[in-house]
Amino acid sequence: MVNPKYVYLFEEADGANKNLLGGKGAGLAEMTRMGLPVPPGFIVTTEACLHFYKNKKKLPKGLVEEVEASLRTVEEKAGKKFGSAQNPLFFSVRSGAAISMPGMMDTILNLGLNDKTLEGLIRITSDGRFAYDAYRRFIQLFGKIALGVEEKEFDQILIQTKEKAGAKEDTELDGDHLKDICRQYLRLIKKKTGTPFPQDPTVQLRLAIEAVFRSWMGKRAVDYRKEFNITPEMANGTAVNVCTMVFGNMGFDSATGVAFTRDPGTGENVLYGEYLVNAQGEDVVAGIRTPKPIQAMKKEMPKTYRELERVRKNLEGHFHEVQDFEFTVEKGTLYILQTRNGKMNAQAIVRTSKDMVSEKLVNREKAVLRLKPHELEQLLHKRIDPNFKGKPIAVGLAASPGAASGKAILDADEAERVGKLGHKVILVREETKPEDIHGFFASQGILTTRGGKTSHAAVVARGMGKPCVSGCEELRIDPAKREASIKNATVKEGDLITIDGSRGEVYLGEIPTVDPEISKDLLTILNWADEIRTLGVRANADTSESAIRARQLGAEGIGLCRTERMFNAADRLPVVREMILAGSKEKRGAAIAALLPMQRSDFKEIFRAMAGLPVTIRLLDPPLHEFLPSAEELAEELRKLKEVESAFSTMENISDAMKFLDPAFRESLGLLDHVVTDIVEIKEKRLDRKLIRKQHDTLRKVKEMMEVNPMLGHRGVRLGITYPEIYRMQIQAILEAAAELIKEGFDIQPEIMVPQVCTAQELKWVWQLVLKVQKEVEKQYGIKIPFKFGTMIEVVRACMRAGRLAEGADFFSFGTNDLTQATFSFSREDAENKFLPLYNQRKILQDNPFEVLDVKGVGRLMMIAIEWGRKTKPDLKIGICGEHGGHPESIEFSHSIGLSYVSCSVPRLPIARLAAAHAKLKEKEKKPLEKYDPDVFGIPSV
């Protein structure tokens, strides 16, 4: 078998092959081929590294000879000789895998130094102190990395020498001190390894290459790859880059620096970076001297600056991406030592994407792909001013992004009251319940001490686009004292606090924030994304305000409008309660009749805002008792009422008793007399009794309605079938709202959606009701009302019966929140609060399935439902309206399984548009569905 080629000169290698050359090597090779001034050198491939491991950690046969040969060529190019005392050549030996793994291994600089070549270095740098400093660093690094001598042994020598010399910093040591340190280091190495420090440069080089290879399987590197999920497909083995040393410290015509081809903070198209005159690369990083901004070079080294400008243009023209590069100037000659794609913040990515398309450096597709959906998220929320330097008082979970300040308020009623006074509010609770919803409306943000990222507080806050920190367990709420406390701080109700839901942080006081903005550049990119994507994007919106906002953010309709949100409004709740508690059909009828115009006008507003686009309205879903006060609350009120009643009885007798009082007293008690008369009146009308009876009734009803598992109980379509009046009213309100707007000339596209359906019979039953109402309304208005009728798919049985369900539905919408609960048989709140964190920690589950769609289980069910649904109805529209609809990975999955649209919370719309475009563009890279097919990839091992 012929050995593969293990060693490539920079000019020989194919820079496109990062897997073989590593990222750094590929960059050096590319730059060499482009004609940029890279010091000569060569790359030992990752393949050699893999052979090293196959070969009992010995360099593969032939490698040493190849290195020798390349070395000769490099010597010729450099006009210097490796190991020569007169004109020595030195190398840096640098690791580099296909994916950058910072800190995995140190670079060995000045390899080739020994007692002899040291003299040469002193001569070429005319700096004895520098030469000894370089030698001692080399011995130490080489000793540690290649020979395995512990770093602290070297440190001890350094510390002792510094003490003797009375020096605080390394920089205070002079040449003689450093010379002495070198001597001691060499002795140390001999003592520890049993052999003298290798003076032969070729031996040094061989040992260094082996050491770089060994570092690939070092604990640090292995842990790093595990932590960042770097698989062998992404990076397999490290390459070794052997590069001629150049010196930036050879006088004032020498320098070293790092630069970006554009400003990574703003994206502005200018050379950006820092440099130091007469310095080595490490000095910039180590912060020994403060570097100057690169613009200063225009004056100080104008020729080099012009060269750097050319390099900048060349690099971008070649890589079609902003580059982050390292350079050194040796006696006026510029050398480029490294280049890689520049890391930028989201704002800079947006700006450069837009600019680079105008400059024809990249096309629109590439420009859209450069912006990652999760990076876009940074731009869409208020953030704490990055210049603010204070510390948080507590840290919880980053449950809903954004920053907000306000008065800490401990219950929803008070939050509403304070909010109405015009104050900003942060609702602070142990946990929240559906009945706290008015508190959410009144608040800028929500802070809870319990609950996970999908607790009620987190989900509702995300839906409203309000910041939320949940599970902030350090915080203790004392409802009696009306305060919340933490180790050494107390927040009294009404005190100002700030929360940062992007990072889970809580601060005392009002911290300055910066506003999100959808810049013109971002809008341009989102429009390009829209051109690319084929997956529709809709919003989950329950009010006309959020519908308007959704439209501005590019929604192509509403995928989920939850009618119960309207039931919870302050003016509706009492009527809703009447409807639920009504003892007779007539009474229920009256309550429902009162609700009808309210719902109709709600729908009208939403339809109007969304004219020309579809609006999916879900019929009532939650169990009815969610609209009622809790049994405990009622019992407590009843007890108080009874106390008042008995107090009344005592008061009645007071009038008589007063006759015995001093007449002077009696006069001043005239007022009491009045009160007593009133009380007697109340008693005669038996008002108190009536109130108590009513309270009793309510309590009885609430107890009747209590369920063991309400989320699996009397809700959704079950509710519609047992209380047909409610669904009937809602259907009527939808169709009447549509009819009125159609008459006004609007294009209205209502879609009626039934929740929790598990059998085709349920759907049929509701359909009959719809037909009946449709006839009535069409007759009344004298027009045809176009609408669609469909079902949520959120029950496992519905997935299995999708073929039948499709017969009675124009569309499906996956409710993946419930479907996930049903698939795992996890109750979400319990899972989040009790065992999910541990499951994630132990990797029993990779992700929280309520955040990241479980494609292997839930996704599989969705695929089955789609397959059977479309067998019945090839043009069946299918969407997803669970929280997952706004999550980039789930959006990619939704695209690949052929969904028609995703529906997400309003603030996430830009993310969904971008993610849908990414999904379309990535489709080219992979075979459809393969990635998700458990049969191809094996059933997950959990």
Of residues 66, 41, 69, 29, the one with CA closest to residue 51: 66
Kindly indicate which of the ranges 129-137, 537-545, 813-821, 895-903 contains the residues binding Mg ion, using the contact rule CB under 5 A: 813-821
Contact 232, 189 (CB under 8 A): no
Distance between CA atoms of 250 and 280, rounded to whole angstroms?
9
Kindly indicate which of the ranges 434-442, 446-454, 633-641, 812-820 contains the residues binding Mg ion, using the contact rule CB under 5 A: 812-820
Q: What is the DSSP letter of 352?
A: H
Under the binding rule (CB under 6 A), the answer on residue 107 touching ligand ADP is yes
246 binds, among Mg ion, ligand ADP, none (CB under 5 to 8 A by kind): ligand ADP
User: Would you say 71 or 753 has its CB closer to Mg ion?
Assistant: 753
Under the binding rule (CB under 6 A), the answer on residue 274 touching ligand ADP is no
Contact 324, 318 (CB under 8 A): no
Residue 456 to residues 164, 451, 465, 468, 765: CA-CA distances in angstroms?
A: 65, 8, 14, 11, 32
Which string of DSSP letters, residue by residue, matches 889-917? HHHHHHHHTT-SEEEEEGGGHHHHHHHHH
740 binds, among Mg ion, ligand ADP, none (CB under 5 to 8 A by kind): none
Residue 814 to residues 824, 863, 868: CA-CA distances in angstroms?
A: 16, 11, 14
Distance between CA atoms of 726 and 595, rounded to whole angstroms?
10
Alpha helices in 405-448 (DSSP H): 412-420, 437-442
Kindly indicate which of the ranges 76-84, 181-189, 334-342, 367-375 contains the residues binding Mg ion, using the contact rule CB under 5 A: 334-342
User: Would you say 556 or 794 has its CB closer to Mg ion?
Assistant: 794
Under the binding rule (CB under 6 A), the answer on residue 328 touching ligand ADP is yes
What is the number of helices (H) and of strands (E) in the chain?
Answer: 40, 33
User: Would you say 328 or 896 has its CB closer to ligand ADP?
Assistant: 328
Of 70, 249, 338, 454, the one binding ligand ADP (CB under 6 A) is 338
Annotated active-site residue 243? The verdict is no
Under the binding rule (CB under 5 A), the answer on residue 815 touching Mg ion is yes
Smallest separation, CB 242 to ligand ADP (Å) = 9
List the catalytic residue out of 881, 884, 895, 918.
881
Under the binding rule (CB under 6 A), the answer on residue 281 touching ligand ADP is yes
- Find all residues with CB under 8 Å of 837, minimum gap 6, and list them: 452
At position 175, the amino acid (one-letter code) is: G
User: Would you say 20 or 109 has its CB closer to ligand ADP?
Assistant: 109
Of 324, 736, 751, 818, the one binding Mg ion (CB under 5 A) is 818
- Find all residues with CB under 8 Å of 472, minimum gap 6, and list them: 394, 395, 396, 397, 447, 448, 449, 504, 506
The angle formed by the CA atoms of residues 792, 794 and 800, to the nearest 5 degrees, is: 100
Smallest separation, CB 154 to Mg ion (Å) = 23
List the catalytic residue out of 51, 177, 381, 456.
456
237 binds, among Mg ion, ligand ADP, none (CB under 5 to 8 A by kind): none
Under the binding rule (CB under 6 A), the answer on residue 337 touching ligand ADP is yes
Smallest separation, CB 63 to ligand ADP (Å) = 21
Q: Give the count of residues interacting with ligand ADP (CB under 6 A).
A: 15
Under the binding rule (CB under 6 A), the answer on residue 94 touching ligand ADP is yes
| Residues 192-251, interacting with ligand ADP (CB under 6 A) | 243-246
Contact 43, 13 (CB under 8 A): yes
Under the binding rule (CB under 6 A), the answer on residue 80 touching ligand ADP is no
Kindly indicate which of the ranges 147-155, 328-336, 786-794, 917-925 contains the residues binding Mg ion, using the contact rule CB under 5 A: 786-794
Of residues 907, 85, 445, 582, the one with CA closest to residue 457: 445
Contact 775, 737 (CB under 8 A): no
94 binds, among ligand ADP, Mg ion, none (CB under 5 to 8 A by kind): ligand ADP
Annotated active-site residue 887? The verdict is no
User: Phi/psi of residue 496, each to 5°?
Assistant: -80, 135
Under the binding rule (CB under 5 A), the answer on residue 338 touching Mg ion is yes
Distance between CA atoms of 253 and 283, rounded to whole angstroms?
17
Smallest separation, CB 330 to ligand ADP (Å) = 8
Smallest separation, CB 23 to ligand ADP (Å) = 9
User: Would you say 329 or 349 has its CB closer to ligand ADP?
Assistant: 329
User: Would you say 418 or 459 has its CB closer to Mg ion?
Assistant: 459
* Tokens found for residue 912: 């969904």
User: Would you say 425 or 880 has its CB closer to Mg ion?
Assistant: 880
Distance between CA atoms of 338 and 315, rounded to whole angstroms?
11
Number of residue whose CB is nearest ligand ADP: 281
Chain residues binding Mg ion by CB under 5 A are 338, 794, 815, 818
Q: Catalytic site residues?
A: 456, 881
Chain residues binding ligand ADP by CB under 6 A are 39, 92, 94, 107, 109, 243-246, 256, 281, 326, 328, 337-338
